[in-house]
Chains A and B, each alone.
Chain A
Amino acid sequence: MRSIRYRPFLATVMIIALISGCSLGGERIYTDSRIAMDTIVTISVVSDSSKEASVSINKVFGEITKLSELANFYSEKSELTAVNLSAGKKPVKVSPELFEIIRLSLDIAGRTGGAFDPTMGAVTALWDFHDEVLPDDTKLNEKAKLVSYKSVVLNDKKGTVFLKKEGMKIDLGGIAKGYAADIAIDLLKGDGIESALVSVAGDIRAYGSKPDGSPWMIGIRDPRPASPTENILAALPLQEMAISTSGDYQRFFIREGTRYHHLLSPKNGRPVKGTQSVSIISDKAVITDSMATAVFIMGPEKGLKFADKMGYLAVIVDDNGRIYISEGLRDVIEIKRPE
């Protein structure tokens, strides 16, 4: 009699175990979005412990905030502003991190023949895409002369930065976000996180795969979307790589039918025509962030050749909406733009 009484109980326990089995344990994606670097930073990590995930994520946000305080072009208190204010006067000692970003940006400027130039600050300060301020021609010409990455002097031993021309300004807006994404990934790897996706605005770097084994899937924004809900140009898996996009739709205003956007030519300080958007894929976000800008400035054809030569993968949309895709991407990319 007694043995029989246990049977339904056992059956119940077994059924419960069966149902709940699928939801027990295992890895999950933990995601957190916060404001940092004057934008939205989103970090997703794969972990089997929410505590481990949040500890790592908090650490990363702490580092990114520190970095953005150093490299903020608009903040009066940042080290970068101290360098800019001493232009033409004296070298300024900066923290090793800021020194490293400036060194990297000059290196990239050299590699792109000045298509990417971190000393665009004097020009960018004239434009205001929120208030739709169109700068005065003479002023623009005058400030464009101050754009020259070759006039930045780095002293490795002393850790100082010196801008030779008075009025010269370094603006790291085209590289700091990518650098932040790289730092985030390094920190997460150091914490033993097996898989993560970091996106600092549009600068994205990923490693590992999702809990189900599939790779992180990244969309590229359509520069001219068919509708607000159909705004993805293409999608591709991102593994151990970074991707960044520069587009004329990110910050712009339209005046008398002309689109004035934030991707300015280092030569004349005016928006570059011929391209709608450029996405670059490479191993580091600091590269993709700055190179997307550089390739945009070069224009579709020259830019694609340059990317090929450097070993970067590229997706370029030209002025007529034509899409150029690097050969190495054609097998994995999926075009999402509705026909």
Chain B
Amino acid sequence: MPSQNNLRIALLAAYAIALHAFEKLIPTPLPWMRFGLANIITLTALVLYGFRAGMMITVIRVTVGSFLTGTFLGPAFLLSFGAGVVSTSAMALTVRYLPRLFGTVGISIIGALFHNLTQLMIAYLVFIKRIEVVIILSPVLILIGTVTGTLNGLVSSMLIDGIKESAAETDGAVTAE
């Protein structure tokens, strides 16, 4: 069981890295704007396999991803790592303590919100140090994050259903897989 869990986490983390790399190819109206597609994987893992899986995937994605792009421990890494950890924790806490209040989409929006807020915090403390820049940027980032968070939440939700259905079909095969 544990080894199988690790395999699953590794596989999902690989998906997350691939998605993360893939979305860099998508043109966006603002150069630094991203869809946060990797969050689809994090959220799915979080809902299906729990906090540990979600957090592992985030940490692996950020770290291995930064190795691949050569930005390990650089400023971009700091932003991604901090934001990833806080956002995953926020989603995990919502799943744990408010499971009946928010649906998958809501959890995804919360994740996106905390992701952006953390990035702004870190950027302010470490790089920009000008509060007016943060104030100007925050509504824009939150707006974009809410929209992408909703879309990612919808996809996660479908993914979760898909995996659950296939698990139900094979009935118990999940543990024997």
A–B direct touch in complex (beta carbons closer than 8 A)? yes
Residues 225-239 (chain A) with a chain B CB within 8 angstroms: none
Q: Given A1-B170, A4-B166, A19-B35, does the pair A24, B158 have CB atoms closer than 8 Å?
A: no
Chain B neighbourhood of A5, CB < 8 A:
162, 166
**Distance in Å from the Cβ of B99 to the closest Cβ of chain A?**
22
**B151 interface residue (CB < 8 Å to A):** yes
Q: Given A4-B162, A16-B35, A19-B35, does the pair A11, B155 have CB atoms closer than 8 Å?
A: yes
Chain B 34-57: CB-based contact to A (< 8 A → 1; otherwise 0): 010100100000000000000000
**B159 interface residue (CB < 8 Å to A):** yes
What is the interface size of chain B, counting residues whose CB is below 8 A from a CB of the partner? 17
Contact of B40 among A7, A12, A19, A23 (CB under 8 A): A12
**Distance in Å from the Cβ of A15 to the closest Cβ of chain B?**
5
Contact of A1 among B26, B29, B169 (CB under 8 A): B169
In the bound complex, what is the Cα–Cα distance between A11 and B157 (angstroms)? 11
A4 with B27: CB separation less than 8 A: no
B162 with A7: CB separation less than 8 A: yes
Q: Given A1-B169, A1-B170, does the pair A15, B162 have CB atoms closer than 8 Å?
A: no
Chain B neighbourhood of A19, CB < 8 A:
26, 35, 151
Chain A neighbourhood of B166, CB < 8 A:
1, 4-5
What is the interface size of chain A, counting residues whose CB is below 8 A from a CB of the partner? 13
**A113 interface residue (CB < 8 Å to B):** no
Residues 143-157 (chain B) with a chain A CB within 8 angstroms: 151, 154-155
B26 with A15: CB separation less than 8 A: no
B159 with A16: CB separation less than 8 A: no
B154 with A11: CB separation less than 8 A: yes
**A320 interface residue (CB < 8 Å to B):** no
In the bound complex, what is the Cα–Cα distance between A176 and B131 (angstroms)? 50
A-B interface, 3 closest residue pairs, ranked by CB to CB distance from nearest: A8-B159, A1-B166, A8-B158
Residues on B lying within 8 angstroms of A by beta carbon are 26-29, 35, 37, 40, 151, 154-155, 158-159, 162, 165-166, 169-170
Residues on A lying within 8 angstroms of B by beta carbon are 1, 4-5, 7-8, 11-12, 15-16, 19-20, 23-24
